Amino acid sequence: MIIVLKAGATDREIRTVEEKIKSHGLSAHISRGTERTIIGAIGDERHVDAEAFEGLEYVEKVLRILKPYKLVSRDFRKEDTVITVRGKKIGGGTVALFAGPCSVENRGMMVGIGGLVAAAGASFLRGGAFKPRTSPYAFQGLGEEGLRYLAEAREATGLPVATELMDPRDIDLVAKYADVIQIGARNMQNFRLLTEVGKLGKPVILKRGLSATIVEWLMSAEYIASEGNQQIILCERGIRTYEQATRNTFDVSAIPVVKGLSHLPVIADPSHAAGKVGLVEPLAAAAIAAGTDGIMVEVHNQPEAALSDGPQSLRPEAFQAMVSRLTRIAAAVGKTLGDA
């Protein structure tokens, strides 16, 4: 961290800054210019709050040198992290394929859709039992009953299951059934929830928040990693912009940017980005071309009757057709898609 003092800072003020730096366990390097004094704080600045210096009236500005996140950064680990769940890989040379309904609605649909997406090449089955709905009057999910149907679908298909955890009070329940725990966009900065999943030994999908910057997203991943859980899968699912033509704006650039900044696998959810079924495939294709480690898509046997996110849900036949086209795009970038 570099602290630039205002012109005319006194010796006493310089000493105050120096002592403050030392009190944080860092050492100070003072450089006196003709007009300005610059003080370098040497050491791990991540534990030092820049505001502690910015608040001093004789400090002009504070520049951070290190990235605010550590464990999830590429600097910390050069190689890509590859996560294996029940033999299925996320990261490495594969594009993992998560597919399934937005919400678990009943046993029949869950086992039915599970079988169809498995046959089409999905490597993971998704479905929400706890749903983060904008309206309190909308379907909120089946809770434990939904988790049981997911587990039955896993039994029937052999696919590992991913499902959302919304509340730390449900963590034991969700962890009992889920192979991968999803933290939804709306909870990306629910720090208590992040801390709790950080204590679990299960992979976590961390969706990007609705209006989160990449650094904020990585800081949330750092919360999980700092508790000891490094099995984190970042998921770009579109961000909120002024554009109304799509439900969210799919930030395809986030994929290569985050893969440059972090060793963690990055997957993409074109369904929630698009909000419209017809846009799912082009966004998925772009994500694969941009280097995604996985795709998550919503599939429903009867989208017009879905209890949530019908307009963006693919029918199983459309999913199957999409997978065969996307497989060729994956091959063009040297990867295999799902289990296809």
Nearest of 297, 221, 233, 288 to residue 265 by alpha carbon: 233
Minimum distance from CB of 59 to Mn ion (Å)?
47
Minimum distance from CB of 321 to Mn ion (Å)?
21
Comparison of 141 and 265: residue with beta carbon closer to Mn ion:
141
Nearest of 86, 99, 83 to residue 338 by alpha carbon: 99
Comparison of 90 and 102: residue with beta carbon closer to Mn ion:
102
Q: Which does 203 bind (CB under 5 to 8 A by kind): ligand PEP, Mn ion, none?
A: none
d(CA 161, CA 159): 6
**Contacting residues toward ligand PEP, per CB under 6 A:** 102, 128, 132, 184-186, 207, 237, 269, 272
Residue facing ligand PEP at closest CB distance: 184
Comparison of 92 and 275: residue with beta carbon closer to ligand PEP:
275
Q: Which does 207 bind (CB under 5 to 8 A by kind): ligand PEP, Mn ion, none?
A: ligand PEP
Comparison of 16 and 249: residue with beta carbon closer to ligand PEP:
249
Q: Which does 132 bind (CB under 5 to 8 A by kind): ligand PEP, Mn ion, none?
A: ligand PEP
Minimum distance from CB of 316 to Mn ion (Å)?
17
Q: Judging by beta carbons within 10 Å of its beta carbon (0-12, 13-18, 19+), is residue 245 exposed, middle or buried? A: exposed
Comparison of 102 and 159: residue with beta carbon closer to Mn ion:
102
Comparison of 142 and 185: residue with beta carbon closer to ligand PEP:
185
Residues 6+ positions from 198 with CB-CB distance below 8 Å: 223, 224, 225, 226, 227, 228, 229
d(CA 289, CA 93): 13
Comparison of 35 and 304: residue with beta carbon closer to Mn ion:
304
Strands (DSSP E) contained in the chain are 2-5, 27-32, 37-42, 59-63, 83-85, 88-90, 94-100, 124-126, 161-164, 180-183, 204-207, 232-236, 266-268, 294-298, 336-337
**Contacting residues toward Mn ion, per CB under 5 A:** 102, 309
d(CA 121, CA 96): 10
Minimum distance from CB of 288 to Mn ion (Å)?
21
d(CA 39, CA 2): 6
Comparison of 23 and 241: residue with beta carbon closer to ligand PEP:
241
Three-state helix/strand/coil letters over 81-94: CCEEECCEEECCCE
Minimum distance from CB of 126 to ligand PEP (Å)?
7
Minimum distance from CB of 13 to ligand PEP (Å)?
48
Residue facing Mn ion at closest CB distance: 102
Q: Which does 185 bind (CB under 5 to 8 A by kind): ligand PEP, Mn ion, none?
A: ligand PEP
Minimum distance from CB of 251 to ligand PEP (Å)?
13
Minimum distance from CB of 143 to ligand PEP (Å)?
15
Three-state helix/strand/coil letters over 143-208: CHHHHHHHHHHHHHHCCCEEEECCCHHHHHHHHHHCCEEEECHHHCCCHHHHHHHHCCCCCEEEEC
Q: Which does 184 bind (CB under 5 to 8 A by kind): ligand PEP, Mn ion, none?
A: ligand PEP
